[in-house]
Amino acid sequence: MVCTRKTKTLVSTCVILSGMTNIICLLYVGWVTNYIASVYVKVQEPMAEKKLEEDKGDTLRIIERLDHLENVIKQHIQEAPPKPEENPAEAFTDSSLFAHWGQDLSPENRRIALKQFQYYGYNAYLSDRLPLDRSLPDLRPNGCKNLTIPDSLPEVSIVFIFVNEALSVILRSIHSAIDRTPPHLLKEIILVDDNSNNEELKEKLKEYVDEVNTRKPGFIKVVRHSKQEGLIRSRVSGWRVATAPVVALFDAHVEFNVGWAEPVLIRIKENRKRVISPSFDNIKYDNFEIEEYPLSAQGFDWELWCRYLNPPKSWWKLENSTAPIRSPALIGCFIVDRQYFQEIGLLDEGMEVYGGENVELGIRVWQCGGSVEVLPCSRIAHIERAHKPYTEDLTAHVRRNALRVAEVWMDEFKSHVYMAWNIPQEDSGIDIGDISERKALRKKLQCKTFRWYLVTVYPEMRMYSDIIAYGVLQNSLKSDLCLDQGPDTENIPIMYICHGMTPQLQL
């Protein structure tokens, strides 16, 4: 899952800027000047109103910039995977791994721990030394324990997907699922290995699976991809093998908390068109402590990065912290009726690697007659890694996947996604693959419009209706100069060397 709650702001801007080379790719010099005359025409308004609108526009632009900057920081502050030539001695002292952990380790053990951290994005050294059946604090709101559980609930298959995950982390995910799901409700566990090259995930994992299966034949199933398919198709591979009426699709770096399953199965039994997310807490990547997260809905910004949202007003009015929270989208791990998931079109398997599929599923479910909700009584702790193992350039995949969502589901609002990524709406140069099947699916399911979705399900999302153009403004006489917002304190625009980052993006 891509979502992080902490913005981790106020870290040295210099550090952020130096790590931002891929943001510079967003600069499309040359295109902007051609494009500027051709897009939206702003409707003429009476003067007074116009002034008001302009003031409002300014404020929105400032907020948008702050939002954008926050995003940029969020994406780039994450510790990058190590480059092979990096000097280990240097990384040794700098690494965030040792900020709150490991002071007592010998230098040799610190070196081993650091190497594992750089590989996995979390403290696998520590994970290997923690019990697989460790207990978690019960973070459910008061009232969850008094929930009436019906006699009969559907069984669930739990799918864990992974690529090059630490064995102890996978095993702890499995243990917590077995220990904290009532045995009569847990039909099976399915492990999807997305072509890991890590040796311990072959033999040692097999030994563990075989041992469990001698006691409970067929209880753990393993699917291995012969080439890396990415997390989206991995989830679908797991679903294909599942046989229980309900399927839970999870990352393999989670720990299920007590009583997580019953509230979910109750809601799906009542209405099979509900797609459910548990409430997430964080397992800190350095010391593996559990950090309680506030109750949230799950949404996204116009780049389609997922975001935790404050629950809607209607939820607060209930004054019942155990009530389901209506959610515009999903952050990635969810539980769904097995057959309904197929009827609604699984995940978009034309997406690559990572990101956007969770947003697409949320939008699709709502627009096509289902609903999405987060359950406060179902809690799962999840490791937010310091960096992802999938690929170094996640952003390019997320952008491509986001454009697929825009083209299939967002009608006239697709422009907002192109604007957010700062790319032209015609001839963007990005190959989004074939979307005809997804468009046919939308037609077949007779889904509602994106405007309906925004108004009804995601009113918090900002709409832009009076955009004339967007991009950077480049000086035609001296082409390395661009309009820039200038020093924060002075509020006067300046010409500055083009860098294409937020202070130069105009809307």
Question: Which residues contribute to the site for Mn ion (CB under 5 A)?
Answer: 1, 251
Nearest distance, CB of residue 82 and Mn ion, angstroms: 20
In the bound state with Mn ion, the residue whose beta carbon lies nearer, of 251 and 348, is: 251
Nearest distance, CB of residue 251 and Mn ion, angstroms: 4
| Position of minimal CB gap to Mn ion | 251
Nearest distance, CB of residue 267 and Mn ion, angstroms: 23
Give 401's contacts (C-beta < 8 A, 6+ positions apart). Answer: 304, 348, 351, 352, 354, 355, 356, 357, 360
In the bound state with Mn ion, the residue whose beta carbon lies nearer, of 194 and 251, is: 251
Q: What is the DSSP string of 318-364?
A: HT-TTS-EE-SS--S-EEEEHHHHHHTT-S-TTS-SSSSHHHHHHHH
Q: How far apart are the C-alpha atoms of 264 and 158, rounded to whole Å?
A: 13
Give 71's contacts (C-beta < 8 A, 6+ positions apart). Answer: 301, 303, 305
Q: How far apart are the C-alpha atoms of 350 and 353, rounded to whole Å?
A: 10
Q: How far apart are the C-alpha atoms of 230 and 389, rounded to whole Å?
A: 11
Nearest distance, CB of residue 356 and Mn ion, angstroms: 15
Q: How far apart are the C-alpha atoms of 255 and 281, rounded to whole Å?
A: 10
In the bound state with Mn ion, the residue whose beta carbon lies nearer, of 251 and 301, is: 251
Nearest distance, CB of residue 383 and Mn ion, angstroms: 7
Q: How far apart are the C-alpha atoms of 480 and 499, rounded to whole Å?
A: 9
In the bound state with Mn ion, the residue whose beta carbon lies nearer, of 82 and 389, is: 389
Nearest distance, CB of residue 238 and Mn ion, angstroms: 15
Nearest distance, CB of residue 253 and Mn ion, angstroms: 6
Residue 217 DSSP label? T
In the bound state with Mn ion, the residue whose beta carbon lies nearer, of 64 and 251, is: 251
In the bound state with Mn ion, the residue whose beta carbon lies nearer, of 251 and 262, is: 251
Contact 131, 87 (CB under 8 A): no
Q: How many CB atoms lie within 10 A of CB 4?
A: 19
Contact 162, 194 (CB under 8 A): yes
In the bound state with Mn ion, the residue whose beta carbon lies nearer, of 170 and 323, is: 170
Nearest distance, CB of residue 425 and Mn ion, angstroms: 32
In the bound state with Mn ion, the residue whose beta carbon lies nearer, of 188 and 384, is: 384
Q: How far apart are the C-alpha atoms of 390 and 163, rounded to whole Å?
A: 8
